[in-house]
Amino acid sequence: MNAIHIALTFDDNFWAPAYATMRSVCLFTFRRHDLIFHLCHRTLTDQHREDLAAIADEFPVELRWYDLDQSEMFRDIAKRMPENKRLSNIVYARLMLDRLVGPEVERILYLDCDMLVRDRIEALFDIDMQGNAIAAVRDTIGAFITGGRDLKGNRDLFDPANYYFNAGMVLIDTAKWRDADIIGRMEEAFASGVMARIYYDQDLLNLIFHGKWLKLPWRWNTVDARHAHEGLDPAILHYTGENKPWGVFAGMRQSVAFARLYRHVMTNELFYRFARHRWKRWWRKTLRLGR
């Protein structure tokens, strides 16, 4: 069988969720031998890299590492493009996937690290893309993302009637992605002032692939996964809201779908170690603000 290529992008503050996303893919597929994870990372400590590498002790998967701190292109892009204060400029790394992976990778699945996969990933990876460059799921609040207050913003760029996809899960035809010259288009948007007006890389991808993407069923990217989604058999949970399944406070976790399952997918040992990591970050931030 053909390899299943999956790409993740993350910094050191997201190492544990990245592990959980990988492990969920491994747990819910029979094609574990075919899995190749492309790990695009930055600021990763040796300990956290060891945690991620341990996935290969449990499953027969291949890991390919890409240190973005060593990439002059990424450093330049992250420095110049609008800063995503909530997610950091690691979001721009996915735009470079065609520059990072080898020419033998004809198709690659990008997954955000705030995702839990609970269905066979090959059912998604092997779909007929019908000649499209990418396949994705419509974002439930796409019109608000582009239009903002009263849905009046950026109407010269986006029509609310057009379908808008969430870029947290994107199945990519690598050759067509490369032909789209995404980095070049981003530079044009930056020079014209468009990048300063839009929602980072997700809006940019929607502009580039307008009318050129395959719309997939919602279950392959269940945006803002809540309890109500559990009974609908979602394939991929996407925790886009403020509350996460790894939230420091139990009440935060209880409002999202499959929170208990998520903790055991991450493993209890790593889950609580990640909780301590987040507590330390929260206190450091709070004490700095208090000065």
At 231, is the secondary structure helix, strand, or coil? helix
Q: Is 19 within 8 Å of 52 (Cβ atoms)? A: yes
At 5, is the secondary structure helix, strand, or coil? strand
What radius of gyration, in Å, describes the C-alpha atoms of the chain? Answer: 19
Q: And the tokens for 188? A: 């044009």
**How many domains does one find in the chain?**
1
Count of other CB atoms within 10 angstroms of residue 175: 14
The residue range of the domain holding 37 is 4-290
Q: Quick one: how many helices (H) and strands (E) in the chain?
A: 13, 10
Q: How far apart are CA 53 and CA 236, in angstroms?
A: 23
Query: Which CA distances in Å does 179 have to 21, 69, 81, 176, 208?
Result: 29, 26, 22, 5, 11
Phi, psi of 242 (to 5 degrees): -65, -35
Which CATH number does the domain housing residue 151 bear?
A: 3.90.550.10
**Any idea which residue has 């399944």 for tokens?**
245
The one-letter amino acid code at 31 reads: R
What is the per-residue burial (b if ≥16 Cβ within 10 Å, else e) of 182-201? beebbeebbeeebbeebbbb
pTM, full prediction: 0.94
Phi, psi of 155 (to 5 degrees): -70, -15
Q: And the tokens for 62? A: 């291949």
pLDDT of residue 280: 79
Q: How far apart are CA 90 and CA 82, in angstroms?
A: 12
Question: What is the pLDDT tens value at each position of the chain, 291 positions in all?
Answer: 699 999 999 999 999 999 999 999 999 999 999 999 999 999 999 999 999 999 999 999 999 999 999 999 999 988 898 877 666 788 899 999 999 999 999 999 999 999 999 999 999 999 999 999 999 999 999 999 999 999 999 999 999 999 999 999 999 999 999 999 999 999 999 999 999 999 889 999 999 999 999 999 999 999 999 999 999 999 999 999 989 999 866 555 678 999 999 999 999 999 999 998 888 776 676 676 654
At 66, is the secondary structure helix, strand, or coil? strand
Task: Enumerate the H helices of 209-267 as residue ranges.
Answer: 250-254, 259-266
Q: For strand 236-238 and strand 222-223, is the pairing parallel, antiparallel, or unpaired?
A: parallel
Q: How far apart are CA 110 and CA 7, in angstroms?
A: 5
Q: Is 125 within 8 Å of 4 (Cβ atoms)? A: yes
